């Protein structure tokens, strides 16, 4: 992609979306994702070196279950009527991974990046996203780690008490990413009882407030820590 002359843009536009419907946010992600892809295609076609944009969206969703493209719908353990009773929705979507839950009290981060501005390595991208959360948790005295073969951030890996605190699932095309991570900060863990989280049987899910034994953790504070570690690890500038 004419990389010798390509202007690397490490500025990431931060957008706080608040509490927003999943489908609306997904459509918005798609529009940003398409805009970056279109710019890359235009650059290649016209032999231009115009910079591409990067975004980081922070959002909370009303109760929703999402199933990745390789997922198995049988991992949703309730039917449509029960979904209505729980005031939850369900979408089959175009990220990797299986089924997960999003809801209030969970910080969802959607980095929509042109990775060619940073590095061309999806494996490294996922590991750095995990590291952002691992370093954030360390600031609360919580030792988190990776679980071999299971994307996301876990506690007490290799013990009968292993539990996931942050799920991840991404989509990438031409090195442009979308979707991202879902970090349980003050999540209602009861909603996870209605699924086999990420298709992994026999593994528990937890939330930071539960681990700390407090009613609520400041999401404003958490997001500041996430931003700090994201900018350091990706050598990015958030605006």
| Closest residue by Cα to residue 186 from 231, 140, 148, 127 | 140
Average pLDDT estimate for 187-213: 88
Residue 16 lies in a domain: yes
pLDDT at 70 over 60: yes
Neighbours of 125 (CB within 10 A): 20
| Closest residue by Cα to residue 64 from 82, 80, 81, 87 | 87
Pairing type for strands 163-173 and 150-155 reads antiparallel
Q: Where are the alpha helices (DSSP H) in the chain?
A: 22-46, 80-85, 122-138, 208-212, 219-234
Average pLDDT estimate for 21-31: 97
Q: Higher pLDDT residue, 91 or 202?
A: 91
* Residues in the annotated binding site: 95-102, 167-169, 180-182
DSSP string of 178-226, one letter each residue = EEEEEEESS--GGGGGGB-GGG-TT-EE--HHHHHT-S---HHHHHHHH
Neighbours of 147 (CB within 10 A): 18
Q: Give the domain CATH number at 73.
A: 3.30.930.10
Residues spanned by the domain of 148: 11-238
Tell me what percent of the residues of the chain surpass a pLDDT of 70: 95
Average pLDDT estimate for 117-145: 98
Residue 198 lies in a domain: yes
Residue 128 lies in a domain: yes
Nearest-angstrom CA–CA distance, 91 and 77: 14
Pairing type for strands 89-92 and 64-67 reads parallel
Residue 1 lies in a domain: no
Q: In 52-113, which ranges are E strands? A: 55-60, 64-67, 89-92, 99-102, 106-112
| Closest residue by Cα to residue 213 from 133, 141, 125 | 141
Residue 89 lies in a domain: yes
| Closest residue by Cα to residue 191 from 42, 74, 36, 83 | 83
Q: Higher pLDDT residue, 69 or 109?
A: 109
CB distance 55 to 236 below 8 Å? no
Confidence band for 203, pLDDT divided at 50, 70 and 90: confident
Residue 187 lies in a domain: yes
Residue 110 lies in a domain: yes
Tell me what the pLDDT averaged over the chain comes to: 94
The total of structural domains in the chain comes to 1
* Residues in the annotated binding site for substrate: 95-102, 167-169, 180-182
Residue 81 lies in a domain: yes
Indicate which residues carry an active-site annotation. Answer: 198
Q: Is 86 exposed, middle or buried (0-12, 13-18, 19+ CB in 10 A)?
A: middle
pLDDT at 237: 98
Confidence band for 202, pLDDT divided at 50, 70 and 90: low
């Amino acid at each position: 992609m004419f990389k010798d002359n390509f202007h690397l843009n490490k500025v990431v536009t931060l957008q706080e979306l608040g509490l927003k419907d999943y489908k609306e946010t997904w459509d918005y992600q798609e529009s940003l994702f398409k805009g970056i892809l279109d710019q890359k295609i235009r650059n290649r076609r016209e032999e231009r070196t115009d910079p591409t944009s990067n975004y980081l969206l922070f959002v909370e969703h009303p109760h929703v279950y999402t199933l990745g493209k390789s997922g198995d719908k049988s991992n949703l353990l309730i039917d449509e009527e029960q979904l209505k009773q729980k005031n939850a929705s369900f979408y089959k979507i175009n990220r990797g991974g299986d089924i997960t839950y999003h809801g209030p009290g969970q910080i969802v981060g959607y980095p929509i990046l042109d990775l060619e501005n940073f590095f061309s390595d999806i494996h490294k991208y996922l590991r750095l996203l995990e590291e952002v959360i691992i370093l954030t948790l360390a600031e609360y005295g919580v030792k988190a780690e990776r679980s071999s073969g299971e994307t996301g951030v876990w506690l007490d890996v290799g013990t009968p008490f292993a539990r996931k605190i942050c799920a991840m699932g991404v989509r990438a095309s031409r090195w442009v990413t979308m979707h991202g991570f879902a970090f349980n900060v003050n999540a209602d863990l009861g909603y996870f009882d209605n699924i086999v989280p990420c298709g992994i049987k026999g593994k528990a899910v937890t939330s930071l407030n539960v681990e700390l034994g407090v009613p609520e953790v400041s999401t404003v504070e958490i997001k500041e820590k996430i931003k700090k570690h994201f900018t350091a690890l990706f050598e990015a500038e958030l605006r």
